[in-house]
Chain A
Amino acid sequence: ELKVEQNPLFLSMQEGKNYTIYCNYSTTSDRLYWYRQDPGKSLESLFVLLSNGAVKQEGRLMASLDTKARLSTLHITAAVHDLSATYFCAVDTNAGKSTFGDGTTLTVKP
């Protein structure tokens, strides 16, 4: 059974600081997703990572994938308050259903 683990589960950081969220998964997969979820809202797709070494950047967020290590990272650069949310990684199994991590709740403080 595929397991997806994120760490940390909770992250409090100051504006302007950098930090990395980690996502480990237990079996081979060919695609990994990062989502953002605001309280009481649905999931917003951030990144789709399709191959080993893939790196994608959008604003202050950058995601990478190492399929050999079964590891993805979401790096936050110079955090701002608007980035406060819960971030999920999800890994595709066969036929496209996704297995999600438990999420990392990020709080950015002034």
Chain B
Amino acid sequence: DTGVSQNPRHKITKRGQNVTFRCDPISEHNRLYWYRQTLGQGPEFLTYFQNEAQLEKSRLLSDRFSAERPKGSFSTLEIQRTEQGDSAMYLCASSASQGRSYNEQFFGPGTRLTVL
């Protein structure tokens, strides 16, 4: 399967704990995006990378959130000192910056975070 993969698929944690999610994009895609989706809402942009460079971060991304893509392949999203308001589905997407499918984003299955 060459689609976008995310791990874990589900995470339950206690308030105040740190959590880390991983995203593996489609191998030939150089752009990688993180979105957050809460119930009844559309996905909200968090941040995106082109290769290993983090090019944009949303104001939604507080200082408790950090994302990395160290080698331009997989990415991690870490949330420190989780709060109940962080409970959401975290979606990763990837795209190519050129070619026929330019900027068409393909989404992974998501990681559902529940903060107790």
Contacts and interface: CB of A to CB of B under 8 A. Distances in A.
Contacts of A99: 45
A45 B55 CA distance: 24
Contacts, number: 53
Contact of A96 (B44, B91, B95): B95
Given A102-B41, A102-B42, A97 B48 contact: yes
B62 to A, nearest CB: 18
Interface string A47-87: 01000000000000000000000000000000000000000
Interface residues of B, number: 22
Contacts of B108: 42
A7 interface: no
| Tier of interface size on chain A | 20 to 34
Contact of B42 (A31, A42, A90, A97): A90
A88 interface: yes
Contacts of B44: 100
B76 interface: no
Nearest to A30: B103
Interface string B75-112: 00000000000000001000101000001111111100
15 contacts: A42-B91, A42-B108, A43-B43, A43-B91, A43-B107, A44-B107, A45-B104, A88-B42, A90-B43, A95-B55, A96-B95, A97-B45, A97-B56, A98-B45, A103-B40
Given A96-B95, A103-B41, 10 more contacts: A35-B107, A42-B108, A43-B91, A43-B107, A90-B42, A95-B56, A96-B103, A97-B45, A98-B45, A101-B42
Interface of B: 31, 33, 40-45, 48, 55-56, 91, 95, 97, 103-110
